Chain A
């Protein structure tokens, strides 16, 4: 940007073969152009009637962080230039008359800086998201870990006061139950996080076999005995997916249901349906668990990370969603307040 048209014309003529050059005499037009286009480098002449080059570059800096700002000056106004550079308003300045070769070097380094900055910003945002997710995850996981520990602590208090052997024995049996619960949960949690860190490796998956393995592990869950499991698996083709991630998803689905199963209801059930075709596998788990104590909306808010109050109910759903995301799949979650839950995963066939 320059108020002198001749400068703009000669600049454009020199550089148009190497770069996409757009010129204007108007600061408003320049700002509008930056708003609408992916601009990498902005060059402004210092000496302009409406605003100075430094003022203009400072103005656009607040709205557009990405373009690299360069000041063009033929002016003996070196103070303003130094000041602008020191305050971070300007990346470099070019002194008139400019030299084509020097400028090309400068533009190339500005261009590299543009992408380095942009990349850094994206990485930072990603990192910030991952960090806040982890924070919420740790918070809710620690509650699930702390609950059985508190039960064990209570049982120990009782055991030391218990005078008869039968009473003490009962305490110890219950400590055993709580310790197993804790062990199951931490194993699941650890397995989940280890899986999530692994790169994806697409192999043919046999759903019947995988479901069989899932049940073998789920059998160790304290609530497994209270529920009737049914399965319906239709697989007529080869389905390619990362086996470990898929297994972690199946396991999390089952553990999520088992956690809220109504033990006093003899009709408690978990129904797994898997339908695999050429393009996708649809994995659906339906159950008649108790309400989770939070509405469907609240749980999805927690899963999306907008609100994490009463978090424990959402941790499994969060884990399932995480795996579905990594496998480029989708999760649908339906949980009426009065109980019963259906979670449906649609996972693409990575053939």
Chain B
């Protein structure tokens, strides 16, 4: 897999979780572009400021649900106001340490969310997801 096709953006208020996931992703040789943020606000600012740089990539966002200040669902609401071309290239996976029925229902209602993943992050599952995304995007001619 070419490194340049994916950005993996981790958003989680728990610093240990983001750094562990970053290391696990790198150890599994998934991609070179991992960005971590410990708050929704930081992540949204990054997305705003780097719109043009992000646009050619498939942007996989791993978004924690329970966070102070702005929780995962509130963060999604802000992300919904991004422009369409970038939104089409944003694939959001919500992270939760306990898979809750209500969270899944709420996540299903969000067009940008692909799936809810249980913590700790399973990098082999992520690897599989990336392969499928790559297929999907190349079939539709987006990469």
Contact = CB atoms under 8 A, between A and B. Distances in A.
A151 B120 contact: yes
Contact of A158 (B24, B100, B119): B24
Contacts of B74: 293
Contacts of A143: 66, 97-98, 100
A113 interface: no
Pick from A146, A177, A339 the residue with the most CB of B within 10 Å. Answer: A146
Contact of A150 (B68, B70, B73, B120): B120
A260 B68 contact: yes
A341 to B, nearest CB: 11
Interface residues of B, number: 27
B39 to A, nearest CB: 9
Contacts of B97: 143, 146-147, 149-150
Contacts of A289: 68
A151 B15 CA distance: 10
Contacts of B69: 290-291, 293, 339
A155 B16 contact: yes
A291 B17 contact: no
A174 B71 contact: no
Contact of B120 (A157, A177, A339): A157
B21 interface: yes
Interface in B1-44: 14, 16-17, 20-21, 23-24, 27
B54 interface: no
A177 B23 CA distance: 18
Nearest to B67: A293
Contacts of A292: 68
B92 to A, nearest CB: 17
B121 interface: yes
Nearest to B64: A147
Nearest to B70: A293
B94 to A, nearest CB: 12
Contacts of A290: 68-69
Nearest to B40: A293
A51 interface: no
B43 to A, nearest CB: 14
A142 interface: yes
B20 to A, nearest CB: 4
Given A146-B98, A147-B97, A293-B66, A158 B71 contact: no
A271 B110 CA distance: 40
B119 A147 contact: yes
Nearest to B123: A157
B136 to A, nearest CB: 27
B48 interface: no
A78 interface: no
A293 B66 CA distance: 8
A150 B27 CA distance: 19
B125 interface: no
A22 interface: no
B66 A151 contact: no
Contacts of B67: 293
- The 3 A-B pairs at the shortest CB distance, nearest first, are namely A154-B120, A150-B119, A293-B71
Given A139-B100, A147-B98, A309-B106, 15 more contacts: A143-B66, A147-B119, A149-B97, A150-B120, A151-B14, A153-B119, A154-B16, A154-B120, A157-B20, A158-B20, A177-B16, A260-B68, A290-B68, A292-B68, A310-B71
20 contacts: A139-B100, A147-B14, A147-B98, A151-B14, A151-B16, A153-B119, A153-B120, A154-B16, A154-B17, A155-B16, A157-B24, A158-B24, A161-B24, A177-B16, A178-B16, A293-B67, A293-B69, A310-B66, A310-B71, A339-B69
